[in-house]
Amino acid sequence: MITRESVVHSDEDLKRIAGTIRRDIISMLAAAKSGHSAGPLGMAELLAVLYFHSMLHDPQNPDWDKRDVFYLSNGHTAPVLYAAMARAGYFPVDELQTLRQFGSRLQGHPERLALPGLESTSGPLGSGLSQAAGYAYVLQEIDQVNQRWVYTIMGDGEINEGNVWEAAMFAGKYALGNLIAFIDRNNIQIDGSTEDVMPLRDLRGKWESFDWHVLEIDGNNVRSIIDAIGLAKAVTAKPTMIIANTVPGKGVPFMEYNHRWHGMPPTSEQADIALLALEGATAP
């Protein structure tokens, strides 16, 4: 039987899993010849912790009524989600190579009806936090179910969207303590630096003013992520926003910190170089 304890992996395992997810991302994108590189690479630890430590879920029973719920709001980072789900056992790892191909269950942006285990269909930005809040509202205010948490990840560029701030007000008003949101704070979006395109400036202050519990962490450090989720669960009177500072393109030196890799896949030659770098980074 799956329990909260049985899903927990050690920090060392989680680091290793994050490395595996990164290699999956590179090989998927190279095979697909289109897709987004930087964001997914930066989010590998977040997904590793959610799927291999913090979330109660059962890959054999995706609609299990005791599961924790995860909404990927920035749907363009689908490769990191698909890799985590495959490694967790939702579908065969080989299927990752079908990303973005005709007939694949791994659509360019996640589609719930295509792939069991997805909670929603996402891609158009700004709508994941609202859906997560709606789910959390039902659990907390209507069905009054305890011990289930609702997670979502947004990109930092994504929060340019007005829909996000509508959700911020909503979750703050209803004090959704079972809602744990992340902002993948990697400082890039398609057209450049987030602070050039549309400055986000004091993110902590913004969310605190909406009555959120706000944490800022190193989003590429599995222990920091685990501890932040623990703190989020401890604060039951407010929703929690975890600002996860991540390195875009993490692990692939020629992609790191470069906004040009936001929406671009590696060529097969670049993928070989990237995989070598990732092998080295995760070698014992």
Residue 212, interface with other proteins (CB under 8 A)?
no
Per-residue DSSP letter, 257: T
Binding mask 14-53 for other proteins (x = CB under 8 A): ----------------------------------------
User: Considering beta carbons, is residue 120 or 194 the nearer one to other proteins?
Assistant: 120
For residues 135-154, which are near other proteins according to CB under 8 A? 135-139, 141-143
> What's the rounded Cα separation, in Å, for the pair 166 and 266?
36
User: Considering beta carbons, is residue 221 or 240 the nearer one to other proteins?
Assistant: 240
Using the rule CB under 8 A, which residue among 24, 45, 68, 119 binds other proteins?
119
Binding mask 46-85 for other proteins (x = CB under 8 A): -----------------------x-x--------------
Residue 131, interface with other proteins (CB under 8 A)?
yes
Retrieve residue 179's tokens. 């809602």
Using the rule CB under 8 A, which residue among 44, 49, 106, 132 binds other proteins?
132
Long-range Cβ contacts of 200-207 (<8 Å, 24+ apart) = 200/156, 200/159, 203/156, 203/243, 204/243, 207/168, 207/241, 207/243
Determine how many CB atoms are found less than 10 A away from the CB of residue 190. 12
Retrieve residue 229's tokens. 């989720």
> What's the rounded Cα separation, in Å, for the pair 267 and 220?
25
User: Considering beta carbons, is residue 99 or 125 the nearer one to other proteins?
Assistant: 125
Q: What's the N-to-C CA distance of the chain in angstroms?
A: 32
Least Å from the CB of residue 21 to other proteins: 25
Determine how many CB atoms are found less than 10 A away from the CB of residue 279. 11
Q: Total residues at the site for other proteins (CB under 8 A)? A: 33
User: Considering beta carbons, is residue 82 or 137 the nearer one to other proteins?
Assistant: 137
Using the rule CB under 8 A, which residue among 33, 66, 112, 260 binds other proteins?
112
Alpha helices by DSSP H, 93-210: 128-137, 162-173, 194-197, 203-209
Residue 166, interface with other proteins (CB under 8 A)?
yes
User: Considering beta carbons, is residue 26 or 168 the nearer one to other proteins?
Assistant: 168
Residue 182, interface with other proteins (CB under 8 A)?
no
Strand ranges, E, within the chain: 69-72, 150-155, 179-185, 188-189, 192-193, 213-218, 240-245
User: Considering beta carbons, is residue 65 or 94 the nearer one to other proteins?
Assistant: 65
Determine how many CB atoms are found less than 10 A away from the CB of residue 234. 10
Angle of helix 11-32 versus helix 222-234 axis, rounded to 10:
110
Positions in the binding site for other proteins (CB under 8 A): 69, 71, 111-113, 119-124, 126-127, 130-139, 141-143, 162-163, 166-167, 169-170, 173
